Amino acid sequence: MLRPAPLPVVLLLTPVLLLTACGPAQDGESGGTQSAGAGYPRTIDNCGHEVTVDAAPERVVSLNQGTTEILLSLGLEDRLVGTATWTDPIMEGLEEANEGIPRLADNNPSFEVVLDAEPDFVTASFVSTLGTGGVATREQFGELGVPTYVSPSDCAAGKDNESGGDGSRSEPLSLDVVHGEIRDLAQVFGVEERGEELVARLQQRVDTATEDLDVSDVSLMYWFANSESPYLAGCCGAPGAITSAVGAENAFDDTHDEWPQINWETVADRDPDVIVLGDLTRESQTAETADAKIEFLETNPATRILTAVKEERYILLSGQAMNPSIRTVEGIEQVAAGLRDLGLTR
């Protein structure tokens, strides 16, 4: 959700599950269908679990906006019977595909609501969504014969979800992990060619956005939400991948926490050159929208003295662009364009 605001995360301790689903698979070459036995069963390793499907799923519930947008980008809207947990409007270009897909909840739906949709496959962007305190555990879905998939970006790249808050990372996240999620889901649904085409398009967008960009002496600070005790980006999550791609510096690259809460006095000491603002549409924290953040920054005594505030150096991103998802590429494009517009390139 970015989780949509940082929430406590509990590492799943469920045993390895061998799960099955049913239904005809969609052919990645022709857009038609294939028999359940053609290329199936298929098994993928996912966050310490083996996930097996006997055929391409036909009734999918995606519990987070990030996985929903990947499925839609793969042309699988006819397989989605429910989505949940949104921080932003649908990604540009997917509006029509998203029409008519039931929104089960703006945040986590109940286990019962998900089961009412009769899913044969459930996806999530965060370990916490399919963990204790979330919608339900992977084991609970497994007992009902429903395979589950969690975005590897929340369990790979040295991610520790037991360290509190949104967890921490010992290694920087790379877009290769996002590409891996795309390929996993494309394999599950038998649309591998679409997956490779999507990965290639995303990489081309990054290359185009960052070509001849030199901002190595510019420091960025990413503010997701909350004005009293702000959630700011640490070194190694999606904002870190954005910062690395554009070649800038993260003002808080010395913390490995995903979204640490840092006081404004510390922010003033770091005095970042540019502030990247999450422009959210939900209402679960203070200062959700970019407008609310800017109003706070320009009126609060501790923040109105910041160089970025005095110079009005703001770049706006969706919450999903600050997540490890295909929207992270959108974040790279928008930060690169914003730095050019602010005249900070060499």
pLDDT tens digits, one per residue of 248-307: 999 999 999 999 999 999 999 999 999 999 999 888 899 999 999 999 999 999 999 999
**Are the beta carbons of 236 and 172 closer than 8 angstroms?**
yes
Question: What pLDDT score does 7 carry?
Answer: 36
Per-residue pLDDT tens over the stretch 118-140:
999 999 999 999 999 999 999 99
Per-residue pLDDT tens over the stretch 1-10:
444 444 333 3
pLDDT higher than threshold 70 for residue 26: no
Per-residue pLDDT tens over the stretch 196-209:
999 999 999 999 99
Domains and CATH numbers, the chain: 25-205 (3.40.50.1980), 213-341 (3.40.50.1980)
End-to-end CA distance of the chain: 35
The strand ranges marked E within 19-64 are 25-26, 33-34, 42-46, 49-53, 60-62
pLDDT higher than threshold 80 for residue 19: no
- Per DSSP, helices labelled H in the chain are 65-73, 95-98, 111-116, 138-143, 175-189, 192-210, 238-246, 264-270, 290-299, 307-310, 327-341
Distances (CA, A) of 1 to 61, 142, 202, 341: 16, 23, 21, 29
Confidence tier at 158 by pLDDT (50, 70, 90): confident
Q: How far apart are CA 64 and CA 85, in angstroms?
A: 5
**Residue type at position 245:** A
Per-residue pLDDT tens over the stretch 39-73:
999 999 999 999 999 999 999 999 999 999 999 99
Question: What pLDDT score does 284 carry?
Answer: 84
CA torsion, points 118, 148, 60, 23, in degrees to nearest 10? -80
More confident residue, 157 or 255: 255
Residues 216-226 have a mean pLDDT of 97
pLDDT higher than threshold 70 for residue 30: no
Question: What pLDDT score does 82 carry?
Answer: 98
Residues 81-96 have a mean pLDDT of 95
Question: What pLDDT score does 165 carry?
Answer: 83
Phi-psi region at 19: left, alpha or beta (left = phi > 0; alpha = psi -120 to 50):
beta
Q: How far apart are CA 189 and CA 175, in angstroms?
A: 22
Question: What pLDDT score does 37 carry?
Answer: 53
Q: Look up residue 129 and give its DSSP letter.
A: G
Q: How far apart are CA 49 and CA 27, in angstroms?
A: 26
What is the residue-averaged pLDDT of the chain? 90
pLDDT higher than threshold 60 for residue 97: yes
pLDDT over 90, % of the chain: 83
Other Cβ atoms closer than 10 A to 163: 16
Q: Look up residue 261 and give its DSSP letter.
A: B
